[in-house]
Amino acid sequence: MGEFELIARYFKRAVRPGARGVALGVGDDCALVVPAEGMQLAVTTDMLVEGRHFLSTVAPARLGHKALAVNLSDLAACGAEPIAFTLALALPRADEAFLAPFAEGLFALAEAHGVELVGGDTTAGPLNICITAFGQVPRGQALLRSGARAGDDLWVSGRLGDARMALEVFRGAVALGATEFETVREAMERPQPRVALGRALRGLATSAIDLSDGLVGDLGHLLASSNVGAVIDADALPRSTVLAAQSMALQRLCVLAGGDDYELLFTAPASSRSAVEAAARLVGVPVTRFGAINAAAGLRVVDAAGRAVESGWRGFDHFAA
């Protein structure tokens, strides 16, 4: 199977009739994307490398899902409606046993969100998956990292830390029963981008970021962009029953600095609490309030009793020593 047959067989699909925002899909030098009247185009790109963003043991279908999911999560954090994506793929060899399920997992998530694959590139090389995703958001309504204000509540969607717990099991640092392991492994390998929640938070949230490098690190980016500080309650951070059964040290590692959560962290005025809860209920995603924004810089982490929690946690950094 050559390069062009590979593309034709697995990745060249006709644009769905009625697909929003796509004037020309795969097969020319460029695709043509057209946001609707009054909309801005939100753009994000993520590159996935074996051993860094996924393990060699991941099922190809889950990898296809995850590669798109992490990009849709960035669109969600901006409150954008996903439209389309491009896929650049470096593969050691043209391997059908990999490509068929990879494409299946990728397109299943794409169809669930109504997004079109509009272009790409395929090359031989060490396995590398680079997706660039496009969404649309009404002019001036994108959720940014820079809008948090003193007095705002801090919120997070879903549950944190399961992906990191799965990684610790793979590393041999923790042991779990088969059912528990499957639960946390699914969190690591099949994250669900919070697209509907992001859209529902337009006009409600003052700032937002998606959690990919661990809560403390990503919250640090949001605080720096907004030029504010925060106090957060580590015990209030939502976690699965599987994680809640582990040692407190492991729980804190996983919820505060786990990484790979792909939940939305956002701020909203205290006066909007019931509106935030109503929006979350409407889209069926749980949200949890776990802290507040301060005018003074710095992040203070406390427990349920208000005692300081050791604060050596930091976000994941690909080049940290």
Is residue 317 at the binding interface for its own copies, with CB under 8 A as the rule? Answer: yes
DSSP code of 5?
Answer: H
Q: Rounded to whole angstroms, how far apart are CA atoms 181 and 153?
A: 33
Is residue 112 at the binding interface for its own copies, with CB under 8 A as the rule? Answer: no
Interacting residues with its own copies between 117 and 136 (CB under 8 A): 118-126, 128, 130, 132, 134-135
Interacting residues with its own copies between 29 and 58 (CB under 8 A): 29-35, 40-47, 49-53
Is residue 155 at the binding interface for its own copies, with CB under 8 A as the rule? Answer: no
Chain position carrying tokens 């753009």: 43
Q: Which of 24, 112, 236, 250 binds its own copies (CB under 8 A)?
A: 24
Interacting residues with its own copies between 158 and 217 (CB under 8 A): 208-210
Q: Rounded to whole angstroms, how far apart are CA atoms 65 and 62?
A: 5
> Shortest distance, CB of residue 268 to its own copies, whole angstroms?
17
Is residue 90 at the binding interface for its own copies, with CB under 8 A as the rule? Answer: yes
Helix/strand/coil for 34: coil
Is residue 96 at the binding interface for its own copies, with CB under 8 A as the rule? Answer: no
Residue 208: beta bridge partners? Answer: 266
Interacting residues with its own copies between 229 and 258 (CB under 8 A): none
Is residue 225 at the binding interface for its own copies, with CB under 8 A as the rule? Answer: yes
Q: Which of 15, 19, 55, 94 binds its own copies (CB under 8 A)?
A: 94
Is residue 8 at the binding interface for its own copies, with CB under 8 A as the rule? Answer: no
Element (H, E) at 178: helix 178-189
Dihedral of CA atoms 152, 157, 160, 163 in degrees, nearest 10, equals -140
Q: What is the DSSP string of 238-260?
A: ---HHHHTS-HHHHHHHHHH---
Is residue 88 at the binding interface for its own copies, with CB under 8 A as the rule? Answer: yes
Q: Rounded to whole angstroms, how far apart are CA atoms 39 and 118?
A: 19
* Amino acid symbol at 26: V
Residue 211 vs 234, nearer CB to its own copies: 211
> Shortest distance, CB of residue 90 to its own copies, whole angstroms?
5
Q: Rounded to whole angstroms, how far apart are CA atoms 137 and 69?
A: 18
Residue 251 vs 262, nearer CB to its own copies: 262
Tokens linked to 78: 């901006």
The residue among 191, 53, 67, 189 whose CA lies nearest residue 133 is: 67
> Shortest distance, CB of residue 271 to its own copies, whole angstroms?
25
Q: Rounded to whole angstroms, how far apart are CA atoms 300 and 302?
A: 6
> Shortest distance, CB of residue 200 to its own copies, whole angstroms?
16
Residue 126 vs 306, nearer CB to its own copies: 126
Q: What are phi and psi of 252, to 5 degrees?
A: -70, -40
> Shortest distance, CB of residue 298 to its own copies, whole angstroms?
18
Is residue 28 at the binding interface for its own copies, with CB under 8 A as the rule? Answer: yes
> Shortest distance, CB of residue 63 to its own copies, whole angstroms?
15
Residue 84 vs 234, nearer CB to its own copies: 84
Number of residues located near its own copies, criterion CB under 8 A: 71
> Shortest distance, CB of residue 227 to its own copies, whole angstroms?
13
Burial of 96 (0-12, 13-18, 19+ CB in 10 A): exposed
Q: Which of 15, 55, 112, 144 binds its own copies (CB under 8 A)?
A: 144
